[in-house]
């Protein structure tokens, strides 16, 4: 679009810093796109269109105020409303919620989701918050230094990240990554950590040979702290509780397994510091990455029981 004049591009954009006209009221700011020669409409129609967008965004009672009289959240809604009132083939949203507090971010995510379903316009939404990407995006793209690493649905990227960078980009706390190598044992290929304290079967990893350096990935939310025997077929590890943090209804528990620290997110609060625990996960939730390139290594899901470290 570089050689296309702005008024011919059919693009509307909401900026991260709002970019509102300080000398104009909310009504005048939102009507400003409809004053251009290309999108000009009769005054009554423009006011009706602006009022409808404002009511949808919950700012219909603020139309006569100036930007300096608004909160950050209200300014953000005005900036979004200014984008929504004009016809466009593509909407560009540059981190529109980044300056809002956590509660307002949740509310605005719900509103943006609703607005997206009401409109048929393609929207490109830039964010560093993986929750926004998964909540709003029909298709999600992960960028690193200008390179598009993976594009897919949120579920596809969550379950099958293309590399370790993509795996770390989604999830809080981040995915557990443990360095080690593939080695041969009597039962076939296994992953063995660098300190030899973690050993898990990798019979589904066909493309890797003995000695291949890899990183093993386990998402904290996929791990369970077992009470008694782990579910049949689950891979298991043993370790000692290092840190317990309460996060509302959930607990973030850091377990020392050898020289590695594995983070588990659970709703079980009876675990205490220095307790010996057993953590487990289904083989299908295990991720394997090439240590040098970071790329994903595919595995067949036919792994057996784990050897306990």
d(CA 202, CA 65): 63
- Token match 């898990």: residue? 200
109 contact partners, CB below 8 Å, separation of at least 6: 97, 131, 132, 135, 136
Residues in the chain: 309
Give the model confidence (pLDDT) of 188-217 as tens digits.
888 999 988 888 888 667 677 888 999 999
The token duo for 74 is 């209200």
Residue 10 falls in which region: left (phi positive, over 0), alpha (psi -120 to 50) or beta: left
Mean pLDDT, residues 16-22: 89
d(CA 44, CA 31): 11
Q: Residue 309: is its pLDDT beyond 50?
A: no
Task: Determine contact, residues 109/125, Cβ cutoff 8 Å.
Answer: no
Could you tell me where the beta strands, DSSP code E, fall in 47-100? Answer: 90-94
d(CA 18, CA 241): 46
d(CA 176, CA 216): 8
pLDDT at 164: 97
With the CA atoms of 186, 187, 190 and 194 taken in that order, what torsion angle do they form, in degrees rounded to the nearest 10? Answer: -40
Cross-strand pairs, 127: none
The residue among 11 and 308 whose pLDDT is bigger is: 11
- Token match 């990240």: residue? 161
Q: How many CB atoms lie within 10 A of CB 53?
A: 22
Give the model confidence (pLDDT) of 46-91 as tens digits.
999 999 889 888 899 999 999 999 988 889 889 988 988 888 888 8
- Token match 């990935």: residue? 217
Give the model confidence (pLDDT) of 138-187 as tens digits.
999 999 999 999 999 999 999 999 999 999 999 999 999 999 999 988 77
Task: Determine contact, residues 38/7, Cβ cutoff 8 Å.
Answer: yes
Q: What is the DSSP letter of 184?
A: E
Task: Determine contact, residues 282/233, Cβ cutoff 8 Å.
Answer: yes
pTM of the model: 0.83
- Cα–Cα nearest to 289, from 164, 201, 182: 164
Q: Strand pairing of 90-94 and 122-126?
A: parallel
Give the model confidence (pLDDT) of 257-271 as tens digits.
999 999 999 987 788
d(CA 154, CA 209): 31
Query: E strand or H helix at 113, and its extent?
Result: helix 102-118
Cα angle value 269/274/279 (rounded, 5°): 60
The token duo for 307 is 């050897």
Q: Residue 305: is its pLDDT beyond 50?
A: no
């Amino acid at each position: 679009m570089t050689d296309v004049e702005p008024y011919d591009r059919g693009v509307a954009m909401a900026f991260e810093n709002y970019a509102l006209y300080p000398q104009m009221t909310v009504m005048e700011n939102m009507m400003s796109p409809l004053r251009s020669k290309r999108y000009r409409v009769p005054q009554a129609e423009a006011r009706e269109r602006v009022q409808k967008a404002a009511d949808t965004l919950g700012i219909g009672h603020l139309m006569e105020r100036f930007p300096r009289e608004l909160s950050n959240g209200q300014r953000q809604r005005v900036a979004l409303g200014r984008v929504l009132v004009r016809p466009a083939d593509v909407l560009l949203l540059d981190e529109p919620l980044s300056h809002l507090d956590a509660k307002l971010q949740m509310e605005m995510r719900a509103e943006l989701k609703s607005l997206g379903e009401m409109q048929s316009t393609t929207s490109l939404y830039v964010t560093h918050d993986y929750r926004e990407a998964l909540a709003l995006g029909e298709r999600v793209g992960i960028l690193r230094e200008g390179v598009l690493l993976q594009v897919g649905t949120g579920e596809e990227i969550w379950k099958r990240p293309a590399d370790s960078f993509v795996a770390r980009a989604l999830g809080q706390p981040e995915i557990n990554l443990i360095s080690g190598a593939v080695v041969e044992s009597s039962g076939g290929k296994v992953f063995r950590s660098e300190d030899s304290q973690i050993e898990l079967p990798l019979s589904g990893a066909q493309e890797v040979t003995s000695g291949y350096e890899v990183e093993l990935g386990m998402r904290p939310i996929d791990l369970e702290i077992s009470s008694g025997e782990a579910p049949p077929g689950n891979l298991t590890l043993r370790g000692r509780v290092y840190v317990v943090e309460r996060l509302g209804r959930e607990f973030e528990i850091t377990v020392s397994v050898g020289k590695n620290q594995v983070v588990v997110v659970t709703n079980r609060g009876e675990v205490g510091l220095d307790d010996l625990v057993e953590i487990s996960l289904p083989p299908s939730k295990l991720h394997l990455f090439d240590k040098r390139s970071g790329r994903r290594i595919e595995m067949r899901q036919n792994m057996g029981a784990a050897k306990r470290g």
